[in-house]
Amino acid sequence: MDLDGIDSHSIQYQNANNSVRVTDEFMQAVAEDREWTFRAVKTGDPVRTVRARELWRQMATASWECADPGLQFDTTINHWHTASNTGRINASNPCSEYMHLDNSACNLASINLLKYLDDEDRFDVDAYKHTIEVMFTAQEILVGNADYPTESIGETSRQFRQLGLGYANLGALLMAQGMPYDSEQGRAWAAALTSLMTGHAYATSARTAARMGPFAGFDHNREPMLRVLDQHRTAAGAIDERAVPDDLLVAARQAWDDAVELGAVYGVRNSQATVLAPTGTIGLMMDCDTTGIEPDLALTKAKKLVGGGTMFIVNQTIPRALKNLGYSPAEVDAIVGYIDEHKTIIGAPALRAEHLPVFACSMGDNAIHYMGHVLMMSAVQKFLSGAISKTVNMPEDATIEDVEQLHLESWRLGLKAVAIYRDNCKVAQPLSTQKKDGAADSDGAPIVERIVEHVIVQEPVRQKLPRTRTAKTFSFRVADCHGYVTVGEYEDGRPGELFLQVAKQGSTLAGIMDAFAISVSHGLQYGVPLEAFVRMFTNMRFEPAGMTDDPDIRFASSLVDYIFRRLAVEYLEPAHRAELGVLTIGERMQPTLPGVDEATTPSSASLDLPMEDRAPSAVLDQPPARPTPTYTSSREAEVVLCHNCGDIMQRAGSCHACPSCGSTSGCS
């Protein structure tokens, strides 16, 4: 792709994962503050020279500002390459976990680790191994039965048979057992689980090769394949045996002994066995509290309700962890209730300070330090065929120097790839923290409320009309322009399309109205309510305008004005039309607004007595005779102002007409 040409305009960079591939040579130049020479890709000729740390600062600044680019360490990646005699690893998938030959593919599958804790919270090693065998074998079967985007990808994938077994819910597994994610014990557990998964997968692959034969490229790549397997076995010997149960550690090391020995005899059926994918979607389907290798993002989950609103649920791992840490049922209930109310565990009743790291999350007021993420990745990377798709979360106040140091340590710790995300460095993010109004801890610091916000960018969906539908057609005349309107309807009677025919076919007006009708039809089918069109297009003024032949709409200020008044009369309720100012003649002729009854209050009858029966002084109280007044009817006295120009309108029958602009109240 040409990033300087027209290709760049077809890319939405905020929706892409951008990475930079660097070598050990470049990293040494950064560490020693030496110069770095850019070379042409094809010829190797020098192009220009810069200070390595200046380029390093530019990459770190970009990552600090917008979380891109991530880094991929090319030398490390190819050091663990199982088919290096065929070709080097030049790139990865967008999430950076699958790295192998060009024009190849890998099908992924993940295991929910939390399912292997029994009722007494002991890890079932045998069940875990059985799952690895079944899932890995199923993935192997899929290789020969899958479809691929191109023939070259299909050919390479069938020859090298790359697989990507992985896991999810590691963070929940560690929390459930009362282990902090950022701890030596947590990293030892993760290393042992990953070592057993990959080692047993390769042993299964070797046993399959004994019956089916190794992958097609094995003989050509025998040396790098067996070398990488031995590198994995060596790394398994360094797992901290004090922090891991004996049965898990023994199984993890035995799996590599089997893989190396069987691989040397039979070869292996698959050139790659494992990766750690994000598992965002499948993690949700498997009811995982955490995805991939990630720690918990928050102690509460937000569940959107069908009828509207959001319900927060405390993660079910928390009560299990509190129980294993020795809390009583009453204390567990109190702590869970506190989390549910305050969205944080800080300040929870009865919680001991030494247990706070167990419940640390990626973000929020009890966050794992960003180097804790890097150290966890380093603990498991040496036991994976591919790499790790993971985000290292950094606080908003992290500096560019912090990003530089994180990238440098990631390289030194042997990671194949690393990506960071500094809180609030993008315009929108799916997860954020929010301070709870008016709440503060004992030191006066504001309590941070954990909010899980699901940002869903919803594309408009077009609801097409059925192939056979009902329609209404009506003719109209506005001034000297005659035409027809046809309205196609959905099954529930809503309008869904509009056809307009005016004047003579082929005229400019006819073409414009055709295009206008198509745009309105698409709007209706994409969910724009008819009321919005009526509100926008009624009272528009342009020629042709004038008298109509419609008994309900006698005057129109334009074709568009008439059409949408007619549609409003046909499809909108009277109350809605009244709000929009669209009324029929019958509705306008009512003495009051529709639905309002006119009422009068009769006056009390006066008591008139004959003069002879009145008091003598009554004659003196009589008012002098007055001339009989002439009354003006209320219809003649009322003043109606034009809604268009503001001039006084004149009565025309039962309605009013403006002498200045010709507008009427709708019936003349």
Spatial CB neighbours of 87, under 8 Å, sequence gap ≥ 6: 101, 102
CA distance to 228, 261, 277, 289, 369, per residue, from 68 (Å)? 31, 42, 19, 27, 20
Which amino acid would we find at residue 186? G
Contact assessment for residue 542 and residue 477, using Cβ atoms and an 8 Å cutoff? no
Catalytic option among 66, 85, 93, 579: 93
Whether 658 is catalytic is no
66 counts as catalytic: no
93 a catalytic residue: yes
Which residue type occupies 460? P
Task: Give residue for tokens 């509190």.
Answer: 322
Strand locations in 444-541, DSSP E? Answer: 446-451, 471-478, 481-489, 495-502
Strand stretches in 291-445, DSSP E: 300-304, 310-314, 392-394, 417-418, 420-422, 432-440
Residue of 242, 274, 238, 267 whose CA lies nearest to 253 = 238
Residue type for 496, please? G
- The single residue of 32, 66, 97, 315 carrying the catalytic annotation is 97
Cis peptide before 544 (omega within 30 of 0): yes
**Beta-strand (E) ranges in 275-416?**
300-304, 310-314, 392-394
Helices (H) and strands (E) in the chain, counts: 21, 21
Instruction: Kindly give the residue spans of alpha helices, DSSP state H, lying in 267-324.
Output: 280-285, 317-324
CA 378 to chain centre: 29
CB-based burial of residue 444 (10 Å sphere; 0-12 exposed, 13-18 middle, 19+ buried)?
A: exposed
Edge to edge, what strands does the sheet with 417-418 contain?
Answer: 19-22, 70-73, 417-418
What is the rounded distance in angstroms from the CA atom of residue 16 to the CA atom of residue 440?
Answer: 39
Q: Which of 95, 361, 642, 655 is catalytic?
A: 95
The two three-digit tokens of residue 143, written as one number: 């290789």
- Catalytic positions, please? 93, 95, 97
